[in-house]
Amino acid sequence: MPTSPSSPASTPVADATDDHVRIFDTTLRDGEQAPGFSMNRAQKLRLAHVLGELGVDVMEAGFPQASPDDFSAVQAIAREVRNSTICGLARCQIGDIETTARAIEPAASGRIHVFISTSPLHREHKLRMDKSQVLEATARCVERARQLCDDVEFSAEDALRTEPEFLAEVFGVALDAGATTLNAPDTVGYVTPDEIRQMFTYLREHVRGAERAIFSAHCHDDLGLAVANSLAAIGAGARQIECTINGIGERAGNASLEEVVMALKVRPALYGTDTRIDTRKLYPASRLLSQLTGQSVPRNKAIVGANAFAHESGIHQHGMLRHRGTYEIMQPADVGLTQTKLVLGKHSGRAALRQRLAELGQTPDEAAMDGIFARFKALADKKREIFDADLEALALGRDPDAAGPWHITHLHAASHLGGSASASVKLTHEDGHEVSEAAIGDGPVDAVLRAVERATGEALALTDFNIRAVSEGGDAQGQATVDVEHAGRRWRGQGFSTDIVEAAALAALQVANRIARHQGDAPTSTPAPSNPAKPAAAHA
Ligand code: KIV
Ligand code: ZN
């Protein structure tokens, strides 16, 4: 990590006369900090490239002061992703701001996002600061951020529960100090569309210098109103929406990016403005996030859920056959949903596989393609029907054997009705030595995890385990996700197989391999809570 503040990232200042709605994606920060959604550096980079292709105007890549892993992920994204503004979050503290400036320094276009709480509750109980202290900190910190970067966003945390007059005063101070975007978060997901509309109308009329600013909404979904509130804010002049893929985020989540974007696209006359998102890339982005985190998207989720375009009832099907518009307000292809069908089988060649992967938004290089093709052939031998979801899993699932140092050469698990289960594994280390171990557990998965733990010698304190089918049918592949804590850090491994016990073994082995390597693929970014030096989350 560099040790001194760098020169300003050269960034154009926001143009308040440009009327399109900027999409500020915070999947990698607000989304990633939610339980169950943490990603390691390689996973964040992968998603960041897809967000760039999707066309997000700004991506909040992380909270660099939170941990060295967060810093290094933001820095890597700033280096590699050139088609979006890369933003880092900073508390209203000079140290946070300077760290963030260093992290985003390599970006083609960078932004520092400074936040401080403004509501009476937060001022009194969280900050123990009065109004004048909040104003002073805002001026000082925004000014410092602006010395380091031309593009500075200021957020008033819990803005929607702040006295409107005071909020307008804080925003005026932030603008005078050099902020270009003013974000009013509904941090606790409390307000209704009418209320947020009133607040944005008031702010645009009362903030000193409002005509120079881009107003932004950041809505949480505690009452299920995040998307409706974001749209109401747009109606009142907000021209940046902070949102996440699949609506992930703190507690009930943030406004869902795909829902906000499609509402604006489907109802252009109502809003009179649009986004620059390539909507055909929404579905692949949603799938990738789900695969990376091992968290399924609910079937009935708007836009990207499995049922979003399914017409099951006879009456609906009849109407659809006569005219699609009877029951469909947008086409599956508009959001990048290509028909899930049997596209490939055991006789398909590499070129066909590459083409289908490209249609799914996956463009592996030749070396990665070698591994994917080998795994495709192995899967086609086991599984009669290969679905798109299987292909995505193949492209995602790095062969843990290739990562090493441990390779699995034998696995046996047995369970007995009413009794415990047992498992045995044989692992080979890349230095040539072999280890065989057996263990018993509450079930076969537990037994296998214990056997891998014994064989590798890595203590795997399980914090979460998740298994889900990635495609359809009785022979569907299972994706196992294992979260463990080891030496004060959280680690995640994933495994894919048509056999769920094998998937769990591969996931455990991937974690053990990562721990053994202690480098390369970084651990998940959140430090374990025992690390007192780091802010646990942005909502500290
Ligand atoms: O919800 C919130 O207030 C936030 C801020 C840090 C922008 O996430
Ligand atoms: Zn938030």
Query: Does residue 530 surpass a pLDDT of 50?
Result: no
By CB neighbour count within 10 A (0-12 exposed, 13-18 middle, 19+ buried), where does 402 fall?
exposed
Q: 273 C-alpha vs ligand 2 centroid, how far in Å?
A: 24
Q: 220 C-alpha vs ligand 2 centroid, how far in Å?
A: 6
- Hey, where are the domains in the chain? 22-293, 314-395, 402-520
pLDDT tens digits along 319-330: 777 777 887 899
Taking a C-beta distance cutoff of 8 angstroms, is the pair 144, 187 a contact? no
81: left (phi over 0), alpha (psi -120 to 50) or beta: beta
Query: Does residue 248 surpass a pLDDT of 60?
Result: yes
What is the C-alpha separation between 349 and 465, in angstroms, rounded?
35
Taking a C-beta distance cutoff of 8 angstroms, is the pair 169, 135 a contact? yes
Q: 269 C-alpha vs ligand 1 centroid, how far in Å?
A: 31
Q: What is the pTM of this model?
A: 0.80
What number does the ligand 1 atom closest to the CA of 539 have? 6
Residue 534 is predicted with a pLDDT of 36
Q: 252 C-alpha vs ligand 2 centroid, how far in Å?
A: 11
What is the C-alpha separation between 179 and 171, in angstroms, rounded?
9
Query: Does residue 26 surpass a pLDDT of 80?
Result: yes
22-293: CATH topology: TIM Barrel (3.20.20)
Query: Does residue 202 surpass a pLDDT of 90?
Result: yes
Beta-bridge mates of residue 219: 186
Query: Does residue 11 surpass a pLDDT of 80?
Result: no
First to last CA, the chain: 24
What number does the ligand 1 atom closest to the CA of 30 have? 8
Fill in the amino acid letter for 225: L
Taking a C-beta distance cutoff of 8 angstroms, is the pair 334, 280 a contact? yes
Q: List C-alpha distances in Å: 383 to 137, 387, 469, 477, 497.
A: 61, 10, 14, 9, 10
Q: Which residues line ligand 1 (CB under 6 A)?
A: 30, 115, 155, 157, 185, 187, 218, 220, 538
Task: Determine which residue's CA is closest to atom 8 belonging to ligand 1.
Answer: 30
What is the C-alpha separation between 297 and 505, in angstroms, rounded?
24
What number does the ligand 1 atom closest to the CA of 188 have? 1
Q: How many CB atoms sit inside 10 A of residue 272's CB?
A: 11
Query: Does residue 214 surpass a pLDDT of 80?
Result: yes
402-520: CATH topology: Double Stranded RNA Binding Domain (3.30.160)
Q: 30 C-alpha vs ligand 2 centroid, how far in Å?
A: 6
pLDDT tens digits along 136-171: 999 999 999 999 999 999 999 999 999 999 999 999
Task: Determine which residue's CA is closest to atom 2 belonging to ligand 1.
Answer: 187
Residue 3 is predicted with a pLDDT of 33
Q: Which CATH class is domain 314-395?
A: mainly alpha
Residue 14 is predicted with a pLDDT of 57
Taking a C-beta distance cutoff of 8 angstroms, is the pair 38, 67 a contact? no
Q: How many CB atoms sit inside 10 A of residue 7's CB?
A: 9
What is the C-alpha separation between 470 and 468, in angstroms, rounded?
6
SS3 label, residue 183: strand
Q: 159 C-alpha vs ligand 1 centroid, how far in Å?
A: 9
pLDDT tens digits along 96-143: 999 999 999 999 999 999 999 999 999 999 999 999 999 999 999 999
Fill in the amino acid letter for 264: L
Query: Does residue 54 surpass a pLDDT of 50?
Result: yes
Taking a C-beta distance cutoff of 8 angstroms, is the pair 469, 477 a contact? yes
Pocket test for ligand 1, best of 87, 160, 222, 539 (most atoms within 8 A of CB): 539
Least confident of 6-20, 54-68, 205-219: 6-20
What is the C-alpha separation between 124 and 496, in angstroms, rounded?
49
Q: 191 C-alpha vs ligand 2 centroid, how far in Å?
A: 14
Residue 15 is predicted with a pLDDT of 67
CA 204 to chain CA mean position, Å = 31
Pocket test for ligand 1, best of 118, 158, 183, 218 (most atoms within 8 A of CB): 218
